[in-house]
Amino acid sequence: MNRAYKHCVSEADKRLLVTVMMFYESYKAVGIFLEPTTEYLDKLEEIMASCDNSALVLTATGVAAFLGCVIRENVGGKWTLTENGKYKIIELGTNKISIDLTDDLCIPLMSEKRSFVRDLYCNIEKKIYSH
């Protein structure tokens, strides 16, 4: 198993790992191989763009969790499970900002004026490095 996915369970819990691995394995089964690198942001965007409304929540949740792995591997921080059951990536950058899996990634991917995957990633990088 890729070390990026192992961080899910070692830093947060098995439920996050299951979300990421189910997403990863379901696309692998149809010949779409994903790695937690910025090279795959456009592939994640293709997955979101091809999603129909009936699968939007499930797809956005998987894309957001996988995008979290990309952020975690390429920008730093660590996964954590908060007291209210939310997943965050904490301690990003010198100011130790955090990224909430639901509020900062999943909801923007599902909103009426949907954010693009690469834009979300770039905005997070700007947020980290601008402080």
Residue-level length of the chain: 131
Segment 15-41, tens digit of pLDDT = 999 999 999 999 999 999 999 999 999
Residue 93: predicted pLDDT: 85
CATH of 3-130, one of 3.30.420.40, 1.20.120.1090, 1.25.40.80, 3.30.2130.30: 1.20.120.1090
**Virtual torsion, Cα 27, 29, 31, 34, nearest 10 deg:** 40
Q: How confident is the model at residue 12 (pLDDT cuts 50, 70, 90)?
A: confident
pLDDT at residue 127 tops 60? yes
The single residue listed with the structure tokens 């499970």 is 81
H/E element, 6: helix 3-7
- 3-state SS, 57-123, equals HHHHHHHHHHHHHHHHHHCCCEEEECCCCCEEEEEECCCCEEEEHHHHHHHHHHCCCCCCHHHHHHH
